[in-house]
Amino acid sequence: MSVIPYLKPTVRARLGRGSSYAIGLIILLAVAVFADWNTIGKEFFNLDVAVKMWPTIVTIALKNTLIYTIASFVLGSALAVLLAVLKVTGGPLGWFAAAFIEFFRGIPALLTIFTFAFVVPIAFGFQIPGGGPGAGIMALTIVTGAYAAEIVRAGIEAVPPGQSEAARSLGMSSGKTMFWIVLPQALRIVIPPMTNELVMLLKDTSLLFIGGFAVKEKELTSFGQDALSLTGNPTPLVMVALAYLVVTLPLTYLVGLLEKKLDPKR
């Protein structure tokens, strides 16, 4: 009979983490001993290619990625608040908000981007302002709004009902109660998951390649793919990965800090 089920949960967790670290260390040692470092250095860490590509990766690809991410996040957050309030309020608009959220959460983000980049212009004869980047930002705004709406809704429902009851007893309307009393507290609660959503959105910008951007409009991933074809060397893809990490690692660390600050029990 195995003794593992009789171990305390904390001990099992420590054993699990220890096993993971041990396996990771073994893999690293195996790579260090058996890998062909000369070929790896030439193919993936080519200094000549890196020096040649680095300025444009920063000034064009990383800059565009940050612009697309921030624009989509700001607009998507505003949409999320609107959808969450409508869903919580209920009625026909609440049903519309619920259907909107479920629809865009239920289909791949890539399909939404494709729809705004190609289907909407053909079906309605309407060019979305901003061309490919504009269509991409609109698609990511809707996707972010749909996902973040559920986060905001959870935050609204986490506010103690006594807060609303006290405001209404003072004569505030339901709209003012939601805007001045409930939403400020709900938005404070959802700061960590919304920051996590920002990290996910940053990586989702890699899906915008489908829009067929011009060279100066490309984000990190499509820029790296083009650079790979141009140089015949994967080093630009490694640089792109490093550029993503430069942005995502501080954001991930920030999420952890916010979670600890806003929830002292953690």
The pLDDT value given to residue 67: 95
Q: Which residues of 208-221 are buried (b: 16+ CB within 10 A; e: fewer)?
A: bbbbebeeebbbbb
> Tokens 């060397």 belong to which residue?
233
pLDDT score of 243 = 92
d(CA 48, CA 22): 36
Region 234-257: what's the mean pLDDT?
A: 88
- Mean pLDDT (whole number) for 181-207: 89
When pLDDT is cut at 50, 70 and 90, the band that residue 195 belongs to is: confident
Q: Specify the higher pLDDT residue, 255 or 264.
A: 255
Say which DSSP state 206 is in. G
Per-residue pLDDT at 225 exceeds 90: no
pLDDT in tens, 25-69: 888 888 778 878 888 888 888 888 888 888 888 999 999 999 999
pLDDT for 213 beyond 80: no
**pLDDT of res. 168:** 84
Fold of 45-262: MetI-like fold (1.10.3720)
Lowest pLDDT segment from 7-11, 123-127, 174-178: 7-11
Residue type, 219: E
Q: Which pLDDT score is estimated for 149?
A: 95
Question: Is it the case that residue 212 has pLDDT exceeding 80?
Answer: no
- Judged against a pLDDT cut of 80, whether residue 8 lies above it is answered with no
Q: Residues 35-44: contacts with CB within 8 Å, 24+ apart?
A: 43/233, 43/234, 43/235, 44/234, 44/235, 44/238
What's this model's pTM, rounded to 2 decimal places?
Answer: 0.81
User: Which of the residue ranges 3-7, 38-42, 128-132, 165-169 would you say has the lowest mean pLDDT?
Assistant: 3-7
Q: Judge whether 194 and 148 are in contact, CB under 8 Å.
A: yes
The whole-number pLDDT of residue 148 equals: 95
**Domain regions of the chain by residue span:** 45-262
State residue 141's pLDDT score: 95
Under the banding of pLDDT at 50, 70 and 90, the label for residue 229 is confident
> What proportion of the chain, given as a percentage, has pLDDT over 70?
95
pLDDT of residue 196: 87
pLDDT at 244 over 90: yes
**Which span out of 41-55, 78-92, 206-220 was modeled with the highest average pLDDT?**
78-92
Angle between helices 235-262 and 37-44 (to 10 degrees): 90
